[in-house]
Structure 1
């Protein structure tokens, strides 16, 4: 008996401490104050009640061998026990549906997913659990007109009916478990599909890089045949610039090309070689362009990269002249835009990785909670089904072990949070070591 008291008392203490740590962590650490963790807060509150009330009263029942506290306390204990246990199941069901909609409807569902909605769902889980169990447990004896439970025993009176026991086991355990397993199978399938799509999108190109050239573009713009005075690196820079400008202007070329750009599409030659071969009109035209600071466009340069007007507003060009802006200003503007893109792309990638990491943490934590729930609650509910067909097939020792396994689930849940979520783990550590400095931002 002493061993039983020590073991059950230790389990009760660990359950109380663990779930208080969960609730405190969510309360004090703003990084844990999310909709997902509000559901976990409700689950931890239910587990805390089990650790404080249910475990200790059941230990008294086991140690003494009979119920010493009377019928009223018996009914109250059973009502609290079953309401809280059913609330735990309902919370797990809500969490499963929440995860399912987050993964399968990532655009529409988060807009409606708020703290207020989470509070309403949690309240609905508790109210529904209370309505389903408390009135039946407390007032069944008055409904049927007699109390059939002996004074030295404590169990739910309507469980003496095999059909009622079978029906409540199906509704309270087996149906929710089947739904949760089905939802997580769909979640896993949707997550793998999304990961495959993301990997295909990111494998070919990345932010700040131009798209791969088609065969015609490769033939038109061979790497070693860039325009005079331009290196291979400059051609690559212009390809990057062209892709960036097209993205900024609707992913397409400019609708209007200048007459000068179209008449001078061929490459210009250096001054020391062009004199004998270039007609006077073209020489004069080239001279006028050079006086305005405009270089001839490179061969194969099309769309927005040919005309800077695609990305320069009229106010930037100036109202006095219709000519293009100087090359120095053009290069300065392009370099600024490129620097913005190159700075922004690592941030976007980092944010995307951070969101993916958080989603994985949440899914992993909830999956561990679901597995722990199924493993610890299945033995008792299997025995419940067996007793509906054979009331003497289950010995009292197995009933006690099965009932305690259901309670141990409340002890395991905080460990699931800590093992699967680094933020919970670090917050637990700071709280246990009384390290309250910067506790609100622990990660």
Structure 2
């Protein structure tokens, strides 16, 4: 977010006895502004607290994707509590009444949090890009620890970039040039500096995010075409496999076994480790061929066990047990083939169901993130366009447009929780359970 332009401050001449004596608004307008701004602040705070609580209490929302959204919600919550209310005081009163120290602290918090929001959006974009373009190698390195380090890096870098410059610039240059009744960043008094920060803080990140999502869309279309040509399923005798449809939601490994009990145990272990079962995607032709193979193997000669006994005359006598009747042997082979066919068919159906669920989760994640990015671009673009215009024509932007543009940047923090709820049914249902105090099944709500 860019500078609080000095045009926000009203003319300070006159009597300061009344708090609103210098306000550019009428009493009715002041009441209306306070009501609207207060409502937006309340909605922002409640919405982002709901997001954070939902991720905390619902195990189905505790994924790497949502940890990034948790960080974004923290930034939006700070904006709703601090930035919105202080800015409302500033524009309603018509001057800055809280002194230079509070002004600098507010600006430092505002810029650090806003930059952290942009950094979190960049992290989310890169994460989604690698999930789609490197579905085999990237998930192995994608962990909760890695997500925590990336989130911490985003906040620390934002703090280093903005806080020292805002708080100590007046000491670096040898004095404070910002009037006591105004509040803006001192080194933003130069229009060229404002232009440069707008490029670095908004236009460059947006360009990167748009490029990444163009690549994601291109890779997704290519994958759909490739999957349409690919034969369904894999051989029962293959080694480990990963489904590209899984993306980063789960890492499914399928190592089919020859023994049903070992296979069930391995499936359980894989589910515990990766959050999903093995991906058995055999086609019906393979099922038939497997059953035929088992049928053929059982149709071979069956070794007939023998027993040896020593008779009373000391001569060994060999008693050959009676071989099973052909009818029983055929029935056993058919029963074994039928059980194997049903078992493999069931595994195939379960695999398809799981794959469908994984694909659905991936679509929900992509929809949510796309909605967040669209909301970000739509709400931040007007202000940053005005910043560019102001560089070449400082008198072209009226004060009312500056105020509306700056408030739109804040409203982005109000919109984000709505994006989660509208695009992700799990978030929506968890929000509903929290608001209605229905805590019984909230930990596993979907």
Q: TM-score, normalised by structure 1?
A: 0.75
Q: Which residue matches 1:119?
A: 148
2:290 alignment counterpart: 244
Q: Kindly report which structure 2 residues correspond to 1:42-61, keeping only aligned pairs within 5 A, or say none.
A: 42-61=71-90
CA separation of 1:133/1:348 partners in 2, compared to 1, >3 Å: closer, same or farther? Answer: same
Q: What is the SS of the residue equivalent to 1:36?
A: helix
Decide which of 21, 45, 53 is 1:16's aligned counterpart.
45
Is the aligned partner of 1:36 residue 2:39? no
Gaps of 5+ in 2: 1-29, 236-283, 307-319
CA contact (8 A) 2:295 2:333 kept: no
- CA shift, 1:317, in A, is 6.7
The structure-2 alpha-carbon separation of the partners of 1:197 and 1:155, relative to structure 1 and needing over 3 Å to count, comes to same
Pair 1:240–1:380, CA change in 2 (3 A): closer
Distance 2:375 2:426 in 1: 20
CA distance in 2, matches of 1:242, 1:6: 70
- In structure 2, the residue matched to 1:331 is 334
Cα drift, residue 92 of structure 1: 0.3
Indicate which of 421, 425, 440 corresponds to 1:422: 425
Query: Is the CA contact (8 Å cut-off) linking 1:149 and 1:155 kept in structure 2?
Result: yes
1:154 to 183, 192, 202: 183
Give the distance between the partners of 1:174 and 1:319, measured in 2 at CA.
Answer: 82
For residues 43 and 306 of structure 1, do their structure 2 counterparts lie closer, same or farther at Cα, with a shift above 3 Å needed? closer
SS of 2:412's equivalent in the other structure is helix
Tell me the number of residue pairs that the alignment of Structure 1 and Structure 2 aligns: 352
Are 1:180 and 2:169 matched, yes or no?
A: no
Alpha carbons 2:44, 2:414 under 8 Å: kept: yes
Query: Judging changes above 3 Å, is the alpha-carbon distance between structure 1 residues 308 and 21 closer, same or farther for their aligned structure 2 residues?
Result: same
Paired residue for 1:277?
none
CA distance in 2, matches of 1:397, 1:239: 70
Contact 1:242 1:305 in 2 (8 A): no
Question: What's the counterpart of residue 432 of structure 1?
Answer: 435
**Structure 2 counterparts to residues 65-84 of structure 1, below 5 A:** 65-84=94-113
Distance in 1 of aligned mates of 2:78 and 2:294: 68
Instruction: Trace 1:134-173 onto structure 2 (pairs within 5 A).
Output: 134-173=163-202
Equivalence for 1:409:
412
Per-residue deviation at 1:42? 0.3
Counterparts in 2 of 1:380 and 1:343: CA distance versus 1, 3 Å = same
Structure with max Cα Rg: 1
Is residue 60–residue 445 contact of structure 2 (8 Å, CA) maintained in 1? yes
TM-score (structure 2 length as normaliser): 0.75
- Note the 1:338-417 alignment, pairs <5 A: 338-417=341-420
**How far, CA to CA, are the matches of 1:405 and 1:142 in structure 2?**
32
Deviation at 1:385, TM superposition (A): 1.2
Displacement after TM superposition at 1:239 (Å): 7.0
Distance 1:138 1:244, change over 3 A: same
- CA-to-partner distance for each residue in 1:301-335, whole Å, 9 max, x for gaps? xxx4784169x9x9x978879x9994333222211
Task: Confirm whether residue 104 of structure 1 aligns to residue 133 of structure 2.
Answer: yes
**For 1:331-385, what per-residue CA distance to the aligned partner results, in whole angstroms no more than 9, with x for missing partners?**
2221121011111111000000000000000000000000000000001111111
Q: CA RMSD in A?
A: 2.6
Does the aligned pair in 2 maintain the 1:15–1:411 contact within 8 Å?
Answer: yes
Shift in Å at residue 63 of structure 1?
A: 0.8
Q: 2:311 aligned with 1:308, yes or no?
A: no
Alpha-carbon separation, structure 1, partners of 2:108 and 2:346: 60
In structure 1, C-alpha distance between the alignment counterparts of 2:234 and 2:123, rounded to whole Å? 38
In structure 2, the partner of 1:283 is none
Task: Provide the rounded CA distance (Å) in 2 between the counterparts of 1:392 and 1:318.
Answer: 103
1:194 aligns with 2:223: yes
